[in-house]
């Protein structure tokens, strides 16, 4: 395989990160096929032309179906609003394309199930945009847990808070609707936390959820009145894992002062690991050993000893960033395509994350009953 044609649908922030990752991945990692930025799609066409020139695409269109059916496109990247994911992914898989789709997979669990089934039937590689679980700090935490460094994992505690919807006077947008966004904080933020929880402790078996809408209405952008907020601003759940561990997760998009406060702790019988996304190059490790007078958490600063950090920066303490994680995600997809296998998290993997967040919502809407995932 000498090269792969890349088609991008959507040119917002996530679309930009996909384009940047595909442009840089071979230069950084070296062991993937060349990627041609073949075709970009956005509406109106004038915006596609501007972004296509900025991102470095050869051609542009305002017709996503034309992009999917273009013979020069091998990989279709979907970074549109959530309500468009299902139709685009199904069409791309039917056309024989590999698919890179942003999270969450779809508006509903049924849509996500249809996407996962189509991916399995197609045999094409699929990837869902959970870039945080590609962080070398996260993968090192997985290794520490698997090696028994903190004993048997017994509890997970995680939260992800932002304040982008904290202001009650912020105008209403599509993100407040069930038909375009689906779940609120759960779908936008909580799914990231679920991906990390299950990556560390394995599948989640049951959930007991609670949802809260903090601002019931928001002003319409044109000043003509107010519109209803249809999805959750805050969600909390108790969870049980298949391995017997218990946990709690919480997410809010209305937490003043928080920007990307994605934090978690894994409690074990012999120690604990903690992480904060706002300090994404660090892990905190406590192990119950040695002189009690010197006991305490140890900071592990990621560096070349935590692959693939060294591919980006040759020395510890120089830091990785959000876009680097997106490049690692692109690398995982391209390596899988080159080796004719599935990357992770693919549509089948991400379907479990979708099932967890939708069961949390169902549990909350049913009055707080525990549900099986």
Phi, psi of 120 (to 5 degrees): -60, -45
Does residue 1 sit in helix, strand or coil? Answer: coil
pLDDT (0 to 100) of residue 166: 97
For residue range 136-177, list pLDDT tens digits in order: 999 999 999 999 999 999 999 999 999 999 999 999 998 999
Residue intervals in the chain for CATH 3.30.360.10: 134-343+351-372
d(CA 161, CA 252): 5
224-246 pLDDT, tens per residue?
999 999 999 999 999 999 999 99
Percent of the chain at pLDDT > 70 equals 100
243-283 per-position pLDDT tens digit: 999 999 999 999 999 999 999 999 999 999 999 999 999 99
Nearest Cα to 84, choosing from 57, 60, 65, 66? 65
- State the Cα–Cα distance between residues 96 and 75, nearest whole angstrom: 9
Amino acid 180: pLDDT? 87
Which superfamily does CATH assign the domain made up of 3-131 to? Answer: NAD(P)-binding Rossmann-like Domain (3.40.50.720)
Contact assessment for residue 140 and residue 304, using Cβ atoms and an 8 Å cutoff: no
**Which residues belong to CATH 3.40.50.720 in the chain?**
3-131
Strand ranges in 63-103 using DSSP code E only, listed in sequence order:
75-78, 98-101
For domain 134-343+351-372, say whether CATH 3.30.360.10 is its number: yes
**Can you give the pLDDT at residue 1?**
60
pLDDT of res. 24: 97
Evaluate if residue 36 carries a pLDDT over 70: yes
pTM score, two decimals?
A: 0.95
Is residue 291 pLDDT above 70, yes or no? yes
- Per-residue pLDDT tens digits for 306-334: 999 999 999 999 999 999 999 999 999 99
Residue 62 predicted with pLDDT over 70: yes
Kindly report, residue by residue over 99-119, the tens digit of the pLDDT.
Answer: 999 999 999 999 999 999 999
Compute the distance between CA of residue 336 and CA of residue 100 in angstroms, rounded to an integer.
12
Joined together, the tokens standing for residue 148 give: 């028994």
Kindly report the average pLDDT of the chain as a whole number: 97
Instruction: Identify the pLDDT of residue 2.
Output: 84
């Amino acid at each position: 395989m000498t090269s792969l044609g890349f088609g991008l649908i959507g040119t917002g922030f996530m679309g930009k990160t996909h384009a940047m990752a595909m442009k840089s991945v071979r230069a950084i990692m070296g062991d993937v096929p060349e990627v041609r930025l073949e075709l970009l799609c956005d509406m109106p066409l004038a915006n596609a032309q501007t972004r296509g020139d900025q991102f470095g695409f050869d051609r542009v269109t305002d017709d996503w179906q034309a992009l999917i059916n273009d013979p020069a496109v091998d990989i279709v990247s979907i970074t549109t609003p959530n309500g468009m994911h299902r139709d685009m992914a199904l069409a791309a898989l039917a056309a024989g394309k590999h698919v890179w789709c942003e999270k969450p997979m779809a508006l509903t669990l049924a849509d996500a199930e249809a996407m996962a089934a189509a991916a399995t039937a197609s045999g094409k590689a699929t990837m869902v945009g959970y870039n945080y679980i590609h962080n070398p700090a996260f993968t090192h935490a997985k290794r520490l847990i698997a090696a028994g460094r903190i004993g048997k994992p017994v509890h997970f505690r995680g939260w992800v808070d932002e304040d982008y919807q904290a202001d009650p006077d912020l105008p209403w947008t599509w993100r407040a609707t069930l038909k375009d966004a689906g779940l609120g904080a759960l779908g936008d933020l909580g799914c990231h936390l679920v991906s990390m929880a299950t990556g560390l402790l394995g599948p989640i078996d049951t959930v007991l959820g609670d949802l809260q809408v903090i601002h019931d209405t928001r002003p319409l952008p044109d000043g003509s009145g107010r519109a209803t907020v249809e999805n959750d601003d805050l969600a909390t759940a108790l969870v049980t894992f298949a391995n017997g561990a218990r946990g709690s997760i919480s997410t809010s998009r209305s937490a003043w002062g928080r920007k990307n406060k994605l934090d978690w702790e894994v409690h074990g019988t012999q120690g604990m690991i903690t992480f904060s996304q706002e300090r994404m190059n660090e892990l905190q490790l406590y192990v119950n050993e040695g002189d009690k007078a010197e006991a305490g958490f140890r900071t592990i600063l990621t560096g070349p000893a935590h692959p693939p950090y060294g591919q980006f920066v040759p020395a510890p303490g120089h830091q990785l960033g959000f876009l680097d994680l997106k490049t690692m995600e692109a690398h995982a997809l391209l390596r899988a395509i080159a080796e004719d296998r599935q990357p992770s998290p693919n549509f089948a993997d991400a379907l479990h994350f979708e099932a967890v967040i939708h069961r949390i919502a169902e549990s909350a809407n049913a009055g707080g009953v525990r549900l099986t995932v």
